[in-house]
Amino acid sequence: MENPRRDHGGTPVWLGVDLGTQSVRVLAADASGRVVRRASAPLTGRREAERHEQDPAAWWAAVRAAAREALRDLPPGLVQGVAVCSTSGTVLLADGDGRPLTPGLMYDDGRARAEAAQAQEAGAELWDRLGRRIQPSWALPKALWLTRAHPGARLLHQADFVNERLVGEPVATDSSHALKTGYDLLGERWPGEVFDALGLDAALLPQVVRPGTVLGKVSPRASEETGIPAGTPVVAGMTDGCASQIGSGALRVGHWNSVLGTTLVLKGVTPALVRDPLGVLYSHRSPDGTWLPGGASSVGAGALTADGDLADLDERARHREPSGAVAYPLVSSGERFPFLAPDAVPFMLGTPADDADRHAALLQGVAFVERLALAYVRRLGAPVDGPLTFTGGAVRSAYWTQLRADVLGRPARVPEHADAALGMAILAAYGTTGAASLADVAEPMVRIRTVVEPRPGVRDRFTAPYHRLLDELERRGWLPADVAAHARAED
């Protein structure tokens, strides 16, 4: 558990709950974005090949523990609302009273491959209109896989399970968590015709509302267990990726958030749905009607060497611009964005002079893929001229943050706090204050720590190695030729 801060000052706060893979995090923030309380509780799961499961009872136990710690000594009258996010595509089956009938199948459980192919074929026309391609880890194929063994059971998303315990009765799900279960964001409905073709009973799925909708109030029993005051409004949340985007403040058209942790995720805002013929970019919908396109690459900080002093390597890498080698730093096999290549593997062109040169190549390689990703979304017609925000664990490296701004040739904002729990606190405030737009609520709550300006002329020194990477990705048949040509033409 993290030690709570005690300087709450008597101002109203909103709670954000983030159901992560390794922990549950609970945060209390006020309208100025001041984080008044923060606590966490650990989670464990079962991984075995493509299987990844967690016990739903453990989610609730961790929520209880983290919430009680976060709210310790906080006057109950200050809490104005709570919202919950969870990992995208994580589902379970429950009975009519909400008791789990199955483990929680986590976001990356990939056992429903046959069901994914069936779902893609049955709804191909709709998925094409929505700019999606059904993946085995998505909730819809998992629903098919689970309900065939448990007919008549209700399907719940991870956040639904917790919300039902907070309210004390079944609640609606939000359209963000419902997306990977096949929800039609344009028609705002479950696609009954597709489900009928698949033999899936739509009556087993929850009703759907937009994020930010009040689902109910915290029950007396849940209040006793969590410390969240009874009667607190429970607001429909979003997936963890969308929650992080909200926490970054990137919520107006043309704004983008680049999240660099173990892997790289790019999320932005567009006025209309962006349709991607490759299916590597898909869109959630903001509570206020704008669209939130995003994609997740398999490159990232997870490819960095675990041995050696990273701070020292960063300092030495400053003198290797560009590196003598060009890296494609995949964390694991297979690429998802900005192109789809299931057989992609990491590679290094050339031989690094030493460990510092290798480190420089890896840092630069991630930045090159980030540059390609922005070029790709621009090619699809998405506006990208607004502010760019950097979040994720990699922002702890001042040098890498500067390098990324240099390679992109544009300034980047780095918030003081930008986690998913803060995003849910912001959404809870939006849902309980009647604000006109989510951005209006988020902007005063997202505190920008610094703005990193690109060094003049530095972007050009990386153009040749960037093009060399594009050439190799195209040569290997992973990057489509027209996408590569567009990226080169932008330079």
pLDDT digits (tens, 9 = 90+) for 108-150: 899 999 999 999 999 999 999 998 889 899 999 999 999 988 8
In a domain, 447, yes or no: no
Measure CA 2 to chain center. Answer: 23
Would residue 422 count as lying in a domain? no
Same domain assignment for residues 385 and 361:
yes
Is the pLDDT score of 76 beyond 90? no
* pLDDT in the model for residue 253: 96
Q: Is the pLDDT of residue 6 over 70?
A: no
Residues 46 and 181 both lie in one domain = yes
Q: How far apart are CA 479 and CA 468, in angstroms?
A: 13
Per-residue confidence band for 1, with pLDDT thresholds at 50, 70 and 90: very low
**Maximum distance among all alpha carbons in the chain?**
64
Local confidence band at 291 (pLDDT 50, 70, 90 cut-offs): very high
Sign of CA dihedral 122, 125, 126, 130: positive
State the average pLDDT over residues 181-201: 96
Confidence of residue 7 (pLDDT cuts 50, 70, 90): low
Q: Is residue 293 part of a domain?
A: yes
> How many other C-beta atoms can be found within 10 angstroms of the C-beta atom of residue 124?
13
Same domain, 64 and 189: yes
Q: Are 394 and 260 in contact (CB under 8 A)?
A: yes
Residue 449 in any domain: the answer is: no
CA 288 – CA 309 distance, rounded (Å) = 45
- CB-CB contact of 131 with 281 (8 Å): yes
- Residue 322: asked if its preceding bond is cis (omega within 30°), the reply is yes
In sequence order, the β-bridge partners of residue 335 are 341
Which stretch of 7-11, 203-207, 433-437, 471-475 has the lowest confidence by average pLDDT?
Answer: 7-11
Residues 143 and 275 in one domain: no
What's the mean pLDDT in 319-342?
Answer: 94
Determine, yes or no, domain membership for 441: no
Indicate the pLDDT class of residue 5, thresholds 50, 70 and 90: very low
Q: CA-CA distance, 476 to 260, in Å (whole number)?
A: 25
Please give, one letter per residue, the 3-state secondary structure of the chain: CCCCCCCCCCCCEEEEEEECCCEEEEEEEECCCCEEEEEEEECCCEEECCEEEECHHHHHHHHHHHHHHHCCCCCHHHEEEEEEEECCCCEEEECCCCCECCCEECCCCCCCHHHHHHHHHHCHHHHHHHCCCCCCCCHHHHHHHHHCCCCCCEEEEHHHHHHHHHHCCCCCEEHHHHHHHCCECCCCECCHHHHHHHCCCHHHCCCEECCCCEEEECCHHHHHHHCCCCCCEEECCCEHHHHHHHHHCCCCCCCEEEEECCCEEEEECECCCCCCCCCCCEEEECCCCCEEEEEECCECHHHCCCCCCHHHHHHHHCCCCCCCCEEECECCCCECCCCCECCCCCEEECCCCCHHHHHHHHHHHHHHHHHHHHHHHHHCCCCCCCCEEEECHHHHCHHHHHHHHHHHCCCEEEECCCCHHHHHHHHHHHHHHCCCCHHHHHHHHCCEEEEECCCCCHHHHCHHHHHHHHHHHHHCCCCCHHHHHHHHHCC
pLDDT band at 305 (very low <50, low <70, confident <90, very high): confident
Q: How confident is the model over 216-236, as a mean pLDDT?
A: 98
- Asked if residue 150 and residue 48 are part of one domain, the reply reads yes
Domain identity same for 259 and 214: no
Question: Residue length, the chain?
Answer: 491
pLDDT of residue 4: 40
Please say which residue of 193, 210, 240 terminates a domain. Answer: 240
Residue 392 placed within a domain? yes
The residue among 418 and 405 whose pLDDT is bigger is 405
Residue 471 to residue 96: CA distance in whole angstroms: 56
pLDDT the model gives residue 3: 40
Q: Which of 15, 9, 42, 12 is nearest to 28 (CA)?
A: 15
The reply to whether 30 and 75 lie within a common domain is yes
Mean pLDDT, residues 335-348: 95
User: Is residue 436, in this structure, part of any structural domain at all?
Assistant: no
Report the 10 Å Cβ neighbour count for 39: 23
Burial bucket for residue 15 (CB in 10 Å: 0-12, 13-18, 19+): buried
Q: Where do we find the tokens 């007919």?
A: 151
Q: What are phi and psi of 112, to 5 degrees?
A: -90, 50
Average pLDDT of span 218-236: 98
Mean pLDDT, rounded, of the chain? 94
Give pLDDT tens digits for 419-437: 899 999 999 999 999 898 9
Look at residue 417 in the predicted model and tell me its pLDDT.
Answer: 84
Q: What is the domain count for the chain?
A: 2
Q: Are residues 340 and 384 in the same domain?
A: yes
- How far is the first Cα of the chain from the last one, in angstroms, to the nearest whole number? 48
Mean pLDDT of 266-289: 93
Residue 426 lies in a domain: no
Calculate mean pLDDT across residues 278-298.
93
Report the distance separating Cα 13 and Cα 71, nearest Å.
Answer: 11
C-alpha 76/C-alpha 139 separation (Å) is 37
* pLDDT-derived band at 175, boundaries 50, 70, 90: very high
Mean pLDDT of 13-30: 96
Do 65 and 226 form a contact (C-beta atoms < 8 A)?
A: no
- 133 and 213 assigned to the same domain: yes
Mean pLDDT computed over 4-24: 81
pTM for the full model?
0.91
Question: Which CATH number do you get for residue 20?
Answer: 3.30.420.40
Residue 414 to residues 137, 233, 398, 448, 453: CA-CA distances in angstroms?
Answer: 31, 31, 11, 6, 11
Neighbours of 210 (CB within 10 A): 19
User: What's the pLDDT tens digit per position in 38-73?
Assistant: 999 999 999 998 999 999 999 999 999 999 999 998
Co-location of 344 and 378 in the same domain: yes
User: Nearest to residue 297, comparing CAs of 256, 332, 344, 336?
Assistant: 336
Say if residue 229 is in the same domain as residue 304.
Answer: no
How far apart CA 286 and CA 267 sit, in angstroms, is 12
Q: Which residues contact 291 (CB under 8 A, 6 or more apart)?
A: 269, 270, 271, 272, 273, 274, 283, 284, 285
Q: Name the residue range of residue 59's domain.
A: 13-240
Query: Which of 178, 208, 240 is the endpoint of a domain?
Result: 240
pLDDT at 2: 43
**Strands 326-328 and 208-209, bridge-based pairing:** unpaired
Q: Do residues 464 and 430 lie in contact, with contact meaning Cβ atoms separated by under 8 Å?
A: no
Average pLDDT of the residues in 225-239: 97
Burial of 148 (0-12, 13-18, 19+ CB in 10 A): exposed
Q: Are residues 45 and 112 in the same domain?
A: yes
Place of tokens 């009667």: 231
